[in-house]
């Protein structure tokens, strides 16, 4: 999308704090609630692309309790789930001025949905990670939440880059990524290595390594298993409820790498295979219609062998 549209979208979005709560496998409840809406028969749900979500243990138990063959989407909205994490959602921009190395299909601007940690995490981070080391978790040049952007600040766990076309009722998910968890592992490994080299006589190095292990092993433990789910779930809710768009496309691994110009440093394959399948996206060879009037996209498509995308239709709630 062009910069003017990006400016208009951001100007219309809420400026206050937007909270998002998530626990592992919450995406199944979210998708079923949206698909079932005011009501559907269980047999109809089973025949749909979302049918396999009914096999989740919590959902099987729920259906066994209520019985009956007809249910409404509200049923999934009030399921009690333990250990949900609180996140802060913010909006950013990507590729407003760039034209070459931008990792976007249409060489145009992207809206960025940032999934940020909560206050409790940031306090634990500052307690365990020395101030001089914190810069290692804030890579330059990536679309993370910037200090000074608002009256408050939170560190960014992950982000989702979106290309949007309101006229065609389409959103293309260009990227789902985290730097934070990778950098945390590297930070811990480095400190543990140094502590092992100097031995117990250097108590400060041993203490720093212990604090890093406390942070990565305890504070971040829950995030490693669900950050990607949380980021994509937040993006889908945002696309449907804030943008009001009904069709979501998501790059497949091979096609996405070609269209974004990624020859080296490719992302984990699972983010462009397992993750969209988990969310019931269906594989298609039908390209997003937004590519039709984009010369960069059409040129890149000619270099792709048997291009594929994942596609998910959304129910837009009134």
Q: Are 190 and 136 in contact (CB under 8 A)?
A: no
Q: Are 133 and 202 in contact (CB under 8 A)?
A: no
- pLDDT band at 318; cut points 50, 70, 90: low
* Residue pLDDT, tens place only, 82-96: 889 999 999 999 987
- pLDDT band at 182; cut points 50, 70, 90: very high
Q: Is the pLDDT of residue 242 over 60?
A: yes
Q: Is the pLDDT of residue 2 over 80?
A: yes
Q: What is the pLDDT at residue 214?
A: 95
Domain positions in the chain are 3-22+87-313, 24-82
- pLDDT band at 99; cut points 50, 70, 90: low
Mean pLDDT rounded to a whole number for the chain:
92
Q: Is the pLDDT of residue 98 over 70?
A: no
Q: What is the pLDDT at residue 115?
A: 98
Mean pLDDT confidence for 26-52: 94
Residue 173 bridge partners (DSSP): 162, 250
Cα angle for residues 73, 236, 317 (degrees, 5° grid): 40
pTM (predicted TM-score): 0.94
- pLDDT band at 264; cut points 50, 70, 90: confident
Q: What is the pLDDT at residue 66?
A: 81
Mean pLDDT confidence for 22-33: 96
Output 19 or 79, whichever has higher pLDDT: 19
Q: Is the pLDDT of residue 112 over 90?
A: yes
Cα angle for residues 28, 34, 36 (degrees, 5° grid): 95
Among the residue ranges 154-168, 222-236, 303-317, the one predicted with the least confidence is 303-317
Q: Is the pLDDT of residue 68 over 70?
A: no
* Residue pLDDT, tens place only, 4-24: 999 999 999 887 779 999 999
């Amino acid at each position: 999308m062009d910069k003017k549209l990006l400016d208009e979208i951001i100007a219309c979005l809420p400026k206050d704090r937007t909270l998002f709560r998530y626990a592992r496998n919450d995406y199944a409840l979210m998708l079923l609630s949206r698909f079932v809406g005011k009501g559907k028969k269980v047999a109809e749900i089973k025949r749909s692309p979302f049918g396999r979500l009914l096999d989740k243990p919590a959902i099987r138990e729920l259906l066994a309790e209520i019985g009956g063959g007809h249910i409404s989407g509200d049923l999934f909205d009030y399921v009690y789930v333990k250990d949900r994490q609180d996140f802060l959602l913010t909006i950013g921009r990507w590729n407003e001025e760039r034209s070459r190395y931008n990792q976007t299909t249409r060489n145009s601007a992207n809206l960025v949905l940032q999934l940020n940690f909560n206050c409790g995490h940031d306090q634990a981070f500052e307690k365990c990670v020395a101030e001089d080391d914190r810069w290692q978790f804030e890579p330059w040049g990536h679309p993370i939440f910037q200090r000074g952007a608002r009256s408050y600040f939170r560190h960014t766990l992950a982000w989702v880059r979106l290309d949007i076309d309101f006229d065609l009722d389409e959103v293309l998910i260009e990227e789902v990524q985290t730097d934070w968890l990778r950098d945390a592992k590297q930070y811990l490994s480095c400190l543990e290595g140094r502590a092992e080299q100097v031995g117990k006589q250097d108590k400060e190095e041993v203490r720093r390594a212990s604090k890093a292990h406390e942070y990565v092993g305890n504070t971040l433990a829950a995030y490693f298993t669900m950050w990607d789910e949380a980021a994509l779930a937040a993006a889908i809710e945002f696309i449907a409820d804030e943008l009001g768009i009904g069709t979501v496309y998501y790059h497949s691994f091979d096609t996405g790498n070609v269209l974004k110009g990624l020859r080296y440093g490719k992302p984990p394959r699972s983010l462009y295979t397992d993750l969209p399948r988990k969310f019931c996206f269906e594989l298609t060879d039908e390209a997003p219609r937004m590519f039709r009037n984009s010369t960069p996209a059409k040129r890149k498509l000619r270099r792709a062998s048997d291009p594929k995308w994942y596609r998910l239709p959304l129910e837009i709630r009134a």
